[in-house]
């Protein structure tokens, strides 16, 4: 009468880009015990409250367990056979009549790399359109574009270990304490161990992250390029540039300095424009100049801007000027928002990318990928980025969209426009784990997907660390892995090349493509991961790409890139980018006098479809809110604890006013998580302006003019 001994399965947290390792132990009573994986390099056994509560979020209540198709206006349960036929036949009919660009996929940084790979293969290599974009467009695309401009490819130079080695950590547009807690704890331990390490936080809000800061620069929203152009100018004048590095390994400094010096040569003028104390600005500039081991880590406050790519490059410029890149304890560092934003980028998850970090606009790269896939065609130009994609759906040029693992009715800017688009779309397919979401309401076909703990594959975190997510739960209902659903549809459309029988088979093809015709020379390559056996894949330990095999057969990852001072541009040199500062697209005016900033709260994730299930996570913040400065509240006639209406030119919502979020006068903050499934529609996306960065296409989530009134 012995109970089975519980066994722990090692997996990876499905939330933020820190990518913490977890152990999940199924218990005899059906519960799952979650703990941090002490052997995982990203977290060494630690978990934040979201990760620790994972076991409370995996029940089947509300799950989508069977395919469904719309008939006479209502969804009814269907067989997989019928649902797959409806999707494949619907896509085929639209493609035959209107061409491949009339259909689109809109996917997610929640997908595993294997799912992402099959989605991109289907769309770019077989349907022959690059109309596949991802919610990573809303998150990291400015970092991707900035990396490509500076380095020649989307390459993150450093690793988390560099934070332990730095003498100065600059956090820009990142509430690390709440959004990447385990990385924040690591920085806190660094500060404990070496109090002389300087921590600088650059953020319009005085967030929880500032508790660790020696210096907080509460910049005026949207002024980061002024700040970093001013720093570039200051560094050049201070004589701390690494001339040997610049001469041998970079191009474009003169143009970048010219652009920087137009408005930003005078620190006093920069301080005035950025609305920071001149003495604080000089403390930052002086500290940066005097510190060799400095990391500038940035996140959504930088990326989610109509000047996001320039912001990224203005930061990278300062590291190139000083040669502080590719060496221990220094460099620019993009903190990714989602668990697999990076893995998606590796397989070309964005509409303007091709698989294995190759470029859609490079004919040789297109030929390489098409030859490897033996595909009938290959997309020849970039596809529609997220905001343009939903505009094209509303305009009727895109007639079918397959939404996978994301909820654009809540998360997109101008979410009312997304509703108009989905209402008009001829065929809306949604793959999800949840039965009822704001987006599912518009589905013609609903496809049940496996969720965390049920699916099996890989993710890549902010530091290029590939980790396994492993299944430890039974398959619920008729749910299938996303890669399998995509392959089922591809085969039904008559396409060869989708005979995958496991996530391992998909991963192996992905790894082999990364070295095809490149023999390991490309900076992104998974040479060491080619030809893994199923057992090796199952037991794969976290490893940072590029990955090689040593003479002893052991996998060798790469903690840092550019240690050899070679970059991915054809000439091997990095590029300074001239970043002329420009204001956010939509300025405040008497009708909409306040700047809306959006972001996360500590204990929720995305649109709450998972974290919303754990009562203890709701304890931190029970409902949506409008955080504003007490004097602004007085000015606009609203009171803390009471409901207020916040409106923009794009929409309106109602939430309770609160103070205490460290907001400066002239701005308000509303969290992104609450959806239209709650008592009141608290989708902040309905307010957010749809302006995008012209290079990356990333929306300006941090700067929408709004009005606040009594409700």
**Closest by CA position to 500, among listed 516, 488, 512:** 488
Distance (Å) of CA 437 to CA 106, 595, 644? 16, 29, 25
**Closest by CA position to 14, among listed 262, 492, 340, 449:** 340
C-alpha radius of gyration, the chain, whole number: 24
Least separation in angstroms between CB 604 and ligand SF4: 11
Binds ligand SF4 (CB under 6 A): choice among 48, 443, 485, 663: 48
Residue 25 or 502 having the CB closest to ligand SF4: 25
Question: Any contact of residue 182 with ligand SF4 (CB under 6 A)?
Answer: yes
Residue 50 or 249 having the CB closest to ligand SF4: 50
Least separation in angstroms between CB 203 and ligand SF4: 19
Cα 291 to chain centroid distance, Å, stands at: 30
Q: By the 8 A CB rule, do 655 and 626 touch?
A: yes
Question: Any contact of residue 19 with ligand SF4 (CB under 6 A)?
Answer: yes
Least separation in angstroms between CB 341 and ligand SF4: 12
Cα 411 to chain centroid distance, Å, stands at: 12
Tokens encoding 396: 């009727």
Question: Any contact of residue 112 with ligand SF4 (CB under 6 A)?
Answer: no
Least separation in angstroms between CB 339 and ligand SF4: 7
Binds ligand SF4 (CB under 6 A): choice among 24, 34, 41, 47: 47
Q: Residue 403: CB partners within 8 Å, gap ≥ 6? A: 106, 107, 428, 429, 430, 431, 432, 439
Q: How far apart are CA 184 and CA 49, in angstroms?
A: 13
Binds ligand SF4 (CB under 6 A): choice among 11, 26, 41, 50: 50
Binds ligand SF4 (CB under 6 A): choice among 51, 326, 337, 651: 51
Question: Any contact of residue 16 with ligand SF4 (CB under 6 A)?
Answer: yes
Selected range binding ligand SF4 among 17-25, 359-367, 464-472, 684-692, rule: CB under 6 A: 17-25
Residue 611 or 667 having the CB closest to ligand SF4: 611
Residue 600 or 683 having the CB closest to ligand SF4: 600
Question: Which residue's Cβ has the minimum distance to ligand SF4?
Answer: 51
Distance (Å) of CA 541 to CA 41, 531, 544? 10, 16, 10
Q: How far apart are CA 139 and CA 599, in angstroms?
A: 11
Task: Report the relative pairing of strands 704-710 and 400-404 from DSSP bridges.
Answer: unpaired
Number of residues that bind ligand SF4 (CB under 6 A): 14
Least separation in angstroms between CB 120 and ligand SF4: 24
Question: Any contact of residue 172 with ligand SF4 (CB under 6 A)?
Answer: no
Q: How far apart are CA 72 and CA 56, in angstroms?
A: 37
Is the backbone of residue 574 left (phi > 0), alpha (psi -120 to 50) or beta?
Answer: beta
Tokens encoding 359: 């470029």
Binds ligand SF4 (CB under 6 A): choice among 23, 43, 57, 317: 43
Selected range binding ligand SF4 among 16-24, 99-107, 576-584, 684-692, rule: CB under 6 A: 16-24
Residue 22 or 246 having the CB closest to ligand SF4: 22
Residues 441-470, interacting with ligand SF4 (CB under 6 A): none
Least separation in angstroms between CB 160 and ligand SF4: 11
Least separation in angstroms between CB 47 and ligand SF4: 4
Binds ligand SF4 (CB under 6 A): choice among 26, 100, 157, 181: 181
Least separation in angstroms between CB 159 and ligand SF4: 16
Q: By the 8 A CB rule, do 68 and 76 touch?
A: yes
Q: How far apart are CA 92 and CA 84, in angstroms?
A: 12
Residue 16 or 144 having the CB closest to ligand SF4: 16
**Closest by CA position to 291, among listed 217, 225, 224, 238:** 238
Least separation in angstroms between CB 185 and ligand SF4: 9
Least separation in angstroms between CB 278 and ligand SF4: 36
Residue 602 or 659 having the CB closest to ligand SF4: 602
Q: How far apart are CA 119 and CA 574, in angstroms?
A: 32
Q: By the 8 A CB rule, do 384 and 398 touch?
A: yes
Least separation in angstroms between CB 677 and ligand SF4: 22
Site string for ligand SF4, 341-370 (x = CB under 6 A): ------------------------------
Q: Residue 700: CB partners within 8 Å, gap ≥ 6? A: 304, 305, 306, 413, 584, 585, 586, 688, 689, 691, 692, 693
Residues near ligand SF4, by CB under 6 A? 13, 15-16, 18-20, 43, 47-48, 50-51, 180-182
């Amino acid at each position: 009468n012995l109970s089975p001994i519980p066994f722990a399965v090692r997996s990876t947290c499905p939330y933020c880009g820190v990518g913490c390792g977890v152990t999940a132990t199924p218990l005899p009573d059906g519960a799952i015990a979650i703990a941090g994986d002490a052997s995982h390099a990203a977290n060494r056994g630690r978990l934040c409250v979201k990760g620790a509560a994972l076991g409370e979020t995996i029940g089947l209540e509300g799950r989508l367990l069977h395919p469904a198709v719309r008939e006479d206006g209502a969804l009814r349960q269907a067989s997989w056979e019928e649902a797959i036929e409806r999707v494949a036949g619907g896509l085929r009919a639209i493609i035959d009549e209107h061409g491949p660009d009339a259909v689109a996929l809109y996917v997610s940084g929640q997908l595993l790399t294997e799912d992402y790979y099959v989605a991109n293969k289907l769309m770019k290599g077989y349907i022959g359109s690059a109309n596949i974009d991802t919610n990573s467009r809303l998150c990291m695309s400015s970092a991707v574009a900035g990396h490509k401009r500076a380095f020649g490819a989307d390459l993150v130079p450093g690793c988390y270990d560099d934070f332990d080695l730095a003498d100065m950590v600059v956090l820009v547009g990142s509430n690390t304490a709440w959004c990447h807690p385990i990385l924040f704890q690591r920085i806190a331990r660094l500060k404990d161990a070496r109090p002389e390490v300087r921590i600088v936080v650059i953020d319009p809000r005085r967030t929880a992250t500032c508790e660790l800061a020696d210096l907080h620069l509460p910049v005026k929203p949207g002024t980061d390029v002024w700040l970093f152009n001013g720093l570039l100018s200051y560094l050049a004048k201070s004589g701390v540039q690494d001339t040997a590095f610049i001469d041998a390994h970079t191009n474009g400094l003169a143009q970048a300095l010219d652009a920087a010096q137009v408005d930003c040569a005078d620190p006093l003028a920069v301080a005035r424009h950025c609305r920071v104390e001149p003495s604080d600005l000089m403390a930052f500039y002086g500290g940066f100049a005097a510190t060799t081991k400095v990391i500038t880590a940035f996140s959504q406050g930088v990326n989610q801007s109509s000047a996001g790519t320039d912001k990224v490059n203005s930061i990278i410029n300062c590291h190139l000027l000083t040669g502080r890149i590719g060496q221990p304890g220094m460099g620019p560092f993009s903190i990714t928002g989602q668990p697999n934003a990076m893995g998606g980028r590796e397989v070309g998850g964005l509409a303007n990318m091709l698989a294995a970090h190759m470029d859609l606009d490079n004919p040789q790269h297109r030929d390489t990928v098409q030859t490897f896939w033996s595909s009938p065609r290959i997309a020849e130009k970039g596809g529609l980025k997220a905001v343009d994609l939903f505009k094209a759906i509303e305009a009727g040029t895109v007639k079918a969209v397959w939404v996978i693992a994301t909820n654009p009715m809540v998360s997109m800017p101008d979410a009312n426009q997304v509703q108009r688009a989905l209402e008009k779309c001829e065929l809306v397919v949604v793959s999800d784990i949840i039965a009822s979401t704001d987006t599912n309401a518009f589905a013609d076909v609903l496809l049940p997907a496996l969720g965390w703990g049920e699916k099996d594959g890989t993710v890549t975190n902010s530091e290029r660390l590939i980790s396994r997510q492993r299944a430890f739960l039974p398959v619920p209902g008729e749910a299938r892995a996303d890669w399998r659903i995509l392959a089922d549809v591809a085969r039904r459309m008559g396409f060869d090349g989708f005979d995958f029988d496991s996530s391992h088979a998909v991963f192996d093809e992905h790894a082999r493509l990364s070295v095809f015709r490149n023999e390991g020379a490309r900076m992104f390559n998974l040479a060491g991961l080619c030809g893994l056996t199923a057992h090796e894949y199952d037991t794969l330990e976290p490893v940072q790409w590029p990955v090689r095999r040593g003479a002893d057969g052991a996998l060798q990852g790469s903690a840092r890139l550019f240690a050899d001072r070679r970059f991915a541009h054809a000439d091997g040199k990095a590029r300074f980018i001239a970043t002329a500062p420009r204001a956010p697209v939509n300025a405040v005016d008497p009708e909409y006098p306040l700047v809306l900033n959006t972001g996360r709260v500590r204990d929720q994730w995305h649109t709450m479809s998972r974290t919303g299930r754990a009562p203890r996570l709701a304890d931190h913040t029970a409902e949506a809110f409008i955080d504003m400065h007490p004097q602004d509240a007085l000015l606009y006639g609203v009171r803390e604890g009471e409901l207020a209406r916040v409106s923009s030119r794009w929409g309106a919502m109602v939430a309770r006013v609160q103070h205490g979020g460290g907001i400066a006068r002239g701005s308000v903050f509303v969290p992104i998580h609450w959806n239209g499934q709650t008592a009141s529609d608290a989708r902040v996306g309905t307010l957010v302006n749809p302006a995008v960065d012209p290079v990356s296409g990333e929306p300006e989530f941090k700067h929408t003019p709004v009005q606040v009134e009594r409700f």
